[in-house]
Amino acid sequence: SQQGEEDPQALSIQEGENATMNCSYKTSINNLQWYRQNSGRGLVHLILIRSNEREKHSGRLRVTLDTSKKSSSLLITASRAADTASYFCATDAPQAGTALIFGKGTTLSVSS
């Protein structure tokens, strides 16, 4: 089963521009996490935002969470070619022992 829907599915930008990806989910959550995946590789954890948080920053990343709208956004500022990857949001339910449920992902292409 999949919880989240990312928007857009694909995004192409130039280096230096900002990239914004959105994620919507359906059920209550304990936290929401963003991951990055390069083609054919494993996942890299980017940032975790808890349900009682509204915004979080990590370097060039900014994540927002709106639990009333069941949505989150990931902003990558001053993008670089190396940011080219697929980005997934994943939700963690409040119940203990539950798995992360992933959204469909956004494929970001940053051209130099």
Question: Which residues in this chain contact other proteins in the complex, by CB under 8 A?
Answer: 1-2, 30-31, 33, 40-43, 45, 48, 88, 90, 92, 96-105, 107
Judged by beta carbon, residue 18 or residue 58, the one nearer other proteins is 58
Judged by beta carbon, residue 14 or residue 98, the one nearer other proteins is 98
Tell the smallest beta-carbon distance from residue 61 to other proteins (Å).
15
CA pseudo-torsion sign 69, 32, 24, 46: positive
C-alpha 23/C-alpha 56 separation (Å) is 15
